[in-house]
Structure 1
Amino acid sequence: MERIFISLGSNIDAERHIRNGLNDLARAFEGVRISEVFESEAVGFDGDNFLNLVAEAYTDLPVPEVVSKLKAIETAHGRVRGAKKFAPRTLDLDLLLYGSLCCTTPVELPRPEIFHNDFVLWPLAQLWPEGRLPGRPETLAELWQHHDKHQKLWPVSFHWPE
Protein backbone atom coordinates (compact mmCIF):
# COMPACT_ATOMS: atom_id res chain seq x y z
CA MET A 1 0.00 0.00 0.00
CA GLU A 2 1.16 3.52 -0.75
CA ARG A 3 0.92 6.33 1.75
CA ILE A 4 -0.75 9.36 0.20
CA PHE A 5 -1.38 12.91 1.35
CA ILE A 6 -4.30 14.99 0.07
CA SER A 7 -5.01 18.66 0.67
CA LEU A 8 -8.62 19.69 1.20
CA GLY A 9 -10.03 23.18 0.96
CA SER A 10 -13.42 24.86 0.80
CA ASN A 11 -14.90 28.33 1.18
CA ILE A 12 -18.53 27.58 0.30
CA ASP A 13 -20.41 26.05 3.23
CA ALA A 14 -16.90 24.95 4.11
CA GLU A 15 -17.41 22.89 7.25
CA ARG A 16 -20.12 20.76 5.64
CA HIS A 17 -18.16 20.19 2.42
CA ILE A 18 -14.93 19.39 4.27
CA ARG A 19 -16.70 16.95 6.61
CA ASN A 20 -18.55 15.21 3.76
CA GLY A 21 -15.39 15.14 1.64
CA LEU A 22 -13.51 13.45 4.49
CA ASN A 23 -16.31 10.88 4.80
CA ASP A 24 -15.95 10.14 1.07
CA LEU A 25 -12.16 9.87 1.39
CA ALA A 26 -12.61 7.39 4.25
CA ARG A 27 -14.83 5.26 1.98
CA ALA A 28 -12.32 5.43 -0.90
CA PHE A 29 -9.06 4.93 0.98
CA GLU A 30 -7.77 3.23 4.12
CA GLY A 31 -6.50 4.67 7.39
CA VAL A 32 -7.54 8.28 6.84
CA ARG A 33 -6.02 10.61 9.41
CA ILE A 34 -6.19 14.41 9.36
CA SER A 35 -4.21 17.46 10.43
CA GLU A 36 -5.75 20.32 12.29
CA VAL A 37 -8.11 22.41 10.21
CA PHE A 38 -6.92 25.92 9.40
CA GLU A 39 -8.84 28.98 8.32
CA SER A 40 -7.23 31.34 5.86
CA GLU A 41 -8.09 34.32 3.75
CA ALA A 42 -8.80 33.70 0.08
CA VAL A 43 -5.66 33.89 -2.08
CA GLY A 44 -5.77 35.48 -5.53
CA PHE A 45 -9.35 36.78 -5.29
CA ASP A 46 -11.78 38.47 -2.91
CA GLY A 47 -13.94 35.85 -1.27
CA ASP A 48 -14.96 34.16 1.94
CA ASN A 49 -12.27 32.58 4.08
CA PHE A 50 -11.21 29.01 3.34
CA LEU A 51 -10.97 25.99 5.59
CA ASN A 52 -7.92 23.88 4.75
CA LEU A 53 -6.33 20.71 6.02
CA VAL A 54 -4.30 17.73 4.88
CA ALA A 55 -5.40 14.10 5.06
CA GLU A 56 -3.16 11.07 5.11
CA ALA A 57 -4.44 7.76 3.71
CA TYR A 58 -3.30 4.49 2.18
CA THR A 59 -4.19 2.94 -1.16
CA ASP A 60 -3.30 0.22 -3.63
CA LEU A 61 -4.71 2.27 -6.50
CA PRO A 62 -2.32 3.76 -9.08
CA VAL A 63 -2.00 7.55 -9.28
CA PRO A 64 -4.43 8.03 -12.22
CA GLU A 65 -7.17 6.19 -10.32
CA VAL A 66 -6.49 8.16 -7.13
CA VAL A 67 -6.76 11.42 -9.09
CA SER A 68 -9.96 10.19 -10.74
CA LYS A 69 -11.50 9.35 -7.34
CA LEU A 70 -10.57 12.79 -6.00
CA LYS A 71 -12.18 14.50 -9.00
CA ALA A 72 -15.31 12.37 -8.59
CA ILE A 73 -15.56 13.37 -4.92
CA GLU A 74 -15.14 17.05 -5.84
CA THR A 75 -17.85 16.76 -8.50
CA ALA A 76 -20.20 15.01 -6.07
CA HIS A 77 -19.86 18.06 -3.82
CA GLY A 78 -20.68 20.59 -6.50
CA ARG A 79 -17.23 21.44 -7.83
CA VAL A 80 -17.59 23.13 -11.21
CA ARG A 81 -14.96 22.08 -13.76
CA GLY A 82 -13.45 24.82 -15.89
CA ALA A 83 -14.04 27.54 -13.31
CA LYS A 84 -11.37 30.18 -12.77
CA LYS A 85 -8.29 29.01 -10.85
CA PHE A 86 -8.73 31.66 -8.16
CA ALA A 87 -12.42 31.39 -7.32
CA PRO A 88 -14.70 30.10 -4.55
CA ARG A 89 -14.72 26.31 -4.12
CA THR A 90 -17.21 23.88 -2.64
CA LEU A 91 -14.44 21.31 -2.32
CA ASP A 92 -10.89 21.25 -3.63
CA LEU A 93 -8.90 18.01 -3.30
CA ASP A 94 -5.29 17.83 -4.44
CA LEU A 95 -2.99 14.84 -4.28
CA LEU A 96 0.19 16.18 -2.66
CA LEU A 97 2.28 13.03 -2.25
CA TYR A 98 2.05 9.43 -3.37
CA GLY A 99 4.71 7.47 -1.52
CA SER A 100 8.09 8.70 -2.75
CA LEU A 101 6.91 9.03 -6.35
CA CYS A 102 8.06 11.96 -8.49
CA CYS A 103 6.09 12.50 -11.71
CA THR A 104 4.55 15.16 -13.92
CA THR A 105 1.50 13.27 -15.22
CA PRO A 106 -1.36 12.86 -14.54
CA VAL A 107 -0.40 15.38 -11.81
CA GLU A 108 2.90 16.81 -10.66
CA LEU A 109 4.17 15.02 -7.56
CA PRO A 110 5.26 16.17 -5.10
CA ARG A 111 2.70 18.93 -5.64
CA PRO A 112 4.41 22.35 -6.03
CA GLU A 113 1.85 24.00 -3.71
CA ILE A 114 3.63 22.32 -0.80
CA PHE A 115 6.44 24.87 -1.17
CA HIS A 116 4.27 27.94 -1.82
CA ASN A 117 1.12 27.78 0.28
CA ASP A 118 1.19 28.03 4.06
CA PHE A 119 -2.23 26.34 4.16
CA VAL A 120 -0.68 23.24 2.56
CA LEU A 121 2.76 23.10 4.18
CA TRP A 122 1.70 23.79 7.78
CA PRO A 123 -0.93 21.02 8.01
CA LEU A 124 1.31 18.61 6.06
CA ALA A 125 4.23 19.31 8.41
CA GLN A 126 1.91 18.91 11.38
CA LEU A 127 0.60 15.56 10.16
CA TRP A 128 4.00 14.13 9.15
CA PRO A 129 6.71 16.29 10.77
CA GLU A 130 9.49 13.73 10.27
CA GLY A 131 8.56 13.19 6.61
CA ARG A 132 10.94 14.10 3.82
CA LEU A 133 9.94 14.99 0.29
CA PRO A 134 11.70 13.05 -2.46
CA GLY A 135 15.12 14.57 -3.13
CA ARG A 136 14.97 16.97 -0.15
CA PRO A 137 17.24 16.55 2.89
CA GLU A 138 15.12 18.53 5.36
CA THR A 139 12.06 17.20 7.16
CA LEU A 140 8.64 18.72 6.63
CA ALA A 141 8.88 20.25 10.12
CA GLU A 142 12.17 21.89 9.11
CA LEU A 143 10.67 23.12 5.82
CA TRP A 144 7.81 24.72 7.77
CA GLN A 145 10.17 26.20 10.37
CA HIS A 146 12.22 27.94 7.64
CA HIS A 147 9.27 28.77 5.37
CA ASP A 148 8.48 32.44 4.66
CA LYS A 149 5.11 32.49 6.36
CA HIS A 150 3.32 35.10 4.27
CA GLN A 151 -0.34 34.08 4.47
CA LYS A 152 -2.76 34.71 7.32
CA LEU A 153 -3.65 31.30 8.70
CA TRP A 154 -5.02 30.11 12.03
CA PRO A 155 -6.23 26.78 13.49
CA VAL A 156 -9.97 26.34 14.08
CA SER A 157 -11.98 23.83 16.08
CA PHE A 158 -13.06 20.89 13.92
CA HIS A 159 -13.78 17.31 14.92
CA TRP A 160 -13.84 14.37 12.52
CA PRO A 161 -15.16 11.78 12.54
CA GLU A 162 -18.12 12.94 14.56
Structure 2
Amino acid sequence: MSRIWLSIGSNIERELHITEALSQLESELGKAILSPYYESPAEGFEGPDFINLVAGYDTDKRPAELIKLFNSIESGLGRTRTEKKFSSRTIDIDLLTYGDQVIEVMGKQLPRDDILKYSFVLKPLADVAADEVHVLTGKTYQQHWDEFTPKDRLIRL
Protein backbone atom coordinates (compact mmCIF):
# COMPACT_ATOMS: atom_id res chain seq x y z
CA MET A 1 0.00 0.00 0.00
CA SER A 2 1.14 3.50 -0.77
CA ARG A 3 -0.10 6.74 0.75
CA ILE A 4 -1.12 9.16 -1.96
CA TRP A 5 -1.99 12.82 -1.67
CA LEU A 6 -4.34 14.53 -4.12
CA SER A 7 -5.07 18.18 -4.72
CA ILE A 8 -8.74 18.80 -5.49
CA GLY A 9 -10.17 22.11 -6.66
CA SER A 10 -13.17 23.68 -8.33
CA ASN A 11 -14.38 27.13 -9.31
CA ILE A 12 -17.63 26.15 -11.05
CA GLU A 13 -20.48 25.04 -8.75
CA ARG A 14 -17.67 24.39 -6.30
CA GLU A 15 -19.38 22.61 -3.42
CA LEU A 16 -21.42 20.36 -5.71
CA HIS A 17 -18.45 19.20 -7.76
CA ILE A 18 -16.10 18.73 -4.81
CA THR A 19 -18.72 16.74 -2.89
CA GLU A 20 -19.42 14.50 -5.88
CA ALA A 21 -15.71 13.99 -6.64
CA LEU A 22 -15.03 13.01 -3.01
CA SER A 23 -17.95 10.57 -3.11
CA GLN A 24 -16.63 8.90 -6.25
CA LEU A 25 -13.09 8.82 -4.89
CA GLU A 26 -14.33 7.18 -1.69
CA SER A 27 -16.14 4.48 -3.65
CA GLU A 28 -12.91 3.70 -5.53
CA LEU A 29 -10.23 4.31 -2.88
CA GLY A 30 -11.95 4.15 0.51
CA LYS A 31 -12.06 6.72 3.29
CA ALA A 32 -9.93 9.82 2.87
CA ILE A 33 -7.90 12.00 5.14
CA LEU A 34 -9.23 15.46 4.26
CA SER A 35 -7.67 18.85 4.82
CA PRO A 36 -9.74 21.90 5.60
CA TYR A 37 -11.17 23.64 2.55
CA TYR A 38 -9.57 26.88 1.35
CA GLU A 39 -10.81 29.57 -0.95
CA SER A 40 -8.27 31.22 -3.21
CA PRO A 41 -8.33 33.49 -6.24
CA ALA A 42 -7.94 31.99 -9.70
CA GLU A 43 -4.24 31.61 -10.49
CA GLY A 44 -2.95 32.60 -13.92
CA PHE A 45 -6.30 33.81 -15.31
CA GLU A 46 -9.35 35.91 -14.46
CA GLY A 47 -12.14 33.77 -13.05
CA PRO A 48 -14.20 32.93 -9.99
CA ASP A 49 -12.43 31.94 -6.77
CA PHE A 50 -11.54 28.30 -6.26
CA ILE A 51 -12.18 26.00 -3.36
CA ASN A 52 -9.18 23.72 -2.84
CA LEU A 53 -8.34 20.89 -0.47
CA VAL A 54 -5.98 17.95 -0.18
CA ALA A 55 -7.12 14.34 0.26
CA GLY A 56 -5.01 11.38 1.29
CA TYR A 57 -5.66 7.71 0.59
CA ASP A 58 -3.86 4.41 1.07
CA THR A 59 -4.01 2.39 -2.12
CA ASP A 60 -2.55 -0.49 -4.08
CA LYS A 61 -3.52 1.10 -7.40
CA ARG A 62 -0.59 2.11 -9.60
CA PRO A 63 -0.03 5.78 -10.47
CA ALA A 64 -1.13 5.52 -14.13
CA GLU A 65 -4.31 3.71 -13.06
CA LEU A 66 -5.01 6.48 -10.54
CA ILE A 67 -4.52 9.26 -13.07
CA LYS A 68 -6.89 7.50 -15.48
CA LEU A 69 -9.43 7.22 -12.65
CA PHE A 70 -9.10 10.93 -11.81
CA ASN A 71 -9.47 11.91 -15.48
CA SER A 72 -12.60 9.77 -15.73
CA ILE A 73 -14.12 11.39 -12.63
CA GLU A 74 -13.25 14.85 -13.98
CA SER A 75 -14.83 14.09 -17.36
CA GLY A 76 -17.94 12.67 -15.71
CA LEU A 77 -18.31 15.91 -13.75
CA GLY A 78 -18.16 18.03 -16.89
CA ARG A 79 -14.48 18.94 -16.94
CA THR A 80 -13.47 19.99 -20.40
CA ARG A 81 -9.81 20.12 -21.26
CA THR A 82 -8.63 23.07 -23.26
CA GLU A 83 -5.24 23.96 -24.60
CA LYS A 84 -5.05 26.65 -21.92
CA LYS A 85 -3.35 25.40 -18.77
CA PHE A 86 -5.12 27.94 -16.58
CA SER A 87 -8.90 28.14 -16.91
CA SER A 88 -12.09 27.67 -14.93
CA ARG A 89 -13.02 24.07 -14.21
CA THR A 90 -15.78 22.03 -12.64
CA ILE A 91 -13.22 19.82 -10.92
CA ASP A 92 -9.48 19.32 -10.93
CA ILE A 93 -7.92 16.24 -9.31
CA ASP A 94 -4.14 16.08 -9.32
CA LEU A 95 -1.97 13.31 -7.93
CA LEU A 96 0.63 15.12 -5.82
CA THR A 97 2.60 12.23 -4.35
CA TYR A 98 2.79 8.46 -4.56
CA GLY A 99 4.41 7.27 -1.35
CA ASP A 100 8.00 8.44 -1.28
CA GLN A 101 8.61 7.71 -4.95
CA VAL A 102 10.16 10.12 -7.42
CA ILE A 103 8.68 9.08 -10.75
CA GLU A 104 7.23 10.37 -14.00
CA VAL A 105 3.74 9.16 -14.83
CA MET A 106 1.85 10.09 -17.97
CA GLY A 107 3.99 13.19 -18.41
CA LYS A 108 3.69 14.31 -14.77
CA GLN A 109 6.59 14.35 -12.33
CA LEU A 110 5.85 13.08 -8.82
CA PRO A 111 6.03 14.64 -6.37
CA ARG A 112 4.34 17.45 -8.27
CA ASP A 113 6.18 20.75 -8.31
CA ASP A 114 2.82 22.43 -7.58
CA ILE A 115 3.37 21.47 -3.93
CA LEU A 116 6.13 24.04 -3.56
CA LYS A 117 4.70 26.60 -6.02
CA TYR A 118 1.15 27.23 -4.84
CA SER A 119 -0.17 28.08 -1.40
CA PHE A 120 -3.52 26.44 -2.22
CA VAL A 121 -1.67 23.11 -2.55
CA LEU A 122 1.01 23.43 0.13
CA LYS A 123 -1.13 24.77 3.00
CA PRO A 124 -3.79 22.02 2.91
CA LEU A 125 -1.03 19.42 2.52
CA ALA A 126 0.82 20.85 5.53
CA ASP A 127 -2.47 20.71 7.48
CA VAL A 128 -2.82 16.94 7.02
CA ALA A 129 0.77 15.80 6.50
CA ALA A 130 2.78 18.36 8.47
CA ASP A 131 5.50 15.92 9.53
CA GLU A 132 5.82 14.08 6.24
CA VAL A 133 9.03 14.83 4.40
CA HIS A 134 9.14 16.04 0.81
CA VAL A 135 11.32 13.36 -0.76
CA LEU A 136 13.28 15.82 -2.95
CA THR A 137 13.97 18.56 -0.40
CA GLY A 138 14.29 16.62 2.85
CA LYS A 139 12.06 19.18 4.59
CA THR A 140 8.66 18.55 6.09
CA TYR A 141 5.59 20.06 4.50
CA GLN A 142 5.17 22.18 7.62
CA GLN A 143 8.72 23.53 7.22
CA HIS A 144 7.94 24.39 3.62
CA TRP A 145 4.76 26.16 4.68
CA ASP A 146 6.58 28.11 7.41
CA GLU A 147 9.01 29.38 4.73
CA PHE A 148 6.37 30.00 2.05
CA THR A 149 5.38 33.47 0.86
CA PRO A 150 2.90 34.96 0.21
CA LYS A 151 0.45 33.36 2.63
CA ASP A 152 -2.27 35.96 2.51
CA ARG A 153 -4.17 34.67 -0.52
CA LEU A 154 -5.94 31.79 1.20
CA ILE A 155 -9.14 31.89 3.23
CA ARG A 156 -9.88 28.82 5.34
CA LEU A 157 -13.56 27.89 4.99
Report if TM-score (shorter chain) is over 0.5: yes
1:102-121: CA deviations, max 9, x gaps? 11232210001001000000
Q: TM-score, normalised by structure 2?
A: 0.95
Residues 125-136 of structure 1 mapped to structure 2, 5 A cutoff: 125-136=126-137
**Is the counterpart of residue 80 in structure 1 residue 80 in structure 2?**
yes
SS in 2 for 1:108: strand
Residues in 1 aligned to 2:147 and 2:86: alpha-carbon distance in whole angstroms: 27
Aligned pairs for 1:1-162 within 5 A: 1-106=1-106, 107-149=108-150, 152-156=153-157
1: CA distance, partners of 2:32 / 2:69: 15
Question: Please, which runs of 5 or more residues in structure 1 have no aligned partner?
Answer: 157-162
AA of the residue aligned to 1:112: D
1:10/1:52 contact within 8 Å kept: yes
Gaps of 5+ in 2: none
Moved over 3 A (4+): none
Distance 1:134 1:143 in 2: 12
- Distance in 2 separating the partners of 1:120 and 1:113: 7
Question: 1:57: how far off?
Answer: 0.6
2:151 & 2:53 partners in 1: Cα distance? 17
SS at match of 1:47: coil
Aligned residue for 1:95, secondary structure, equals strand
Once the 2 structures are TM-superposed, how far is the Cα of residue 148 of structure 1 from its aligned partner? 1.5
Deviating more after overlay: 4-13 vs 25-34? 25-34
Q: Retained in 2: the 8 A contact 1:118–1:151? A: no
Comparing 5-14 with 100-109, which one deviates more in the overlay? 100-109
Which secondary structure state, in structure 2, belongs to the residue aligned with residue 104 of structure 1?
Answer: strand
Q: Distance in 1 between matches of 2:148 and 2:83?
A: 30
Q: % of aligned pairs identical?
A: 37
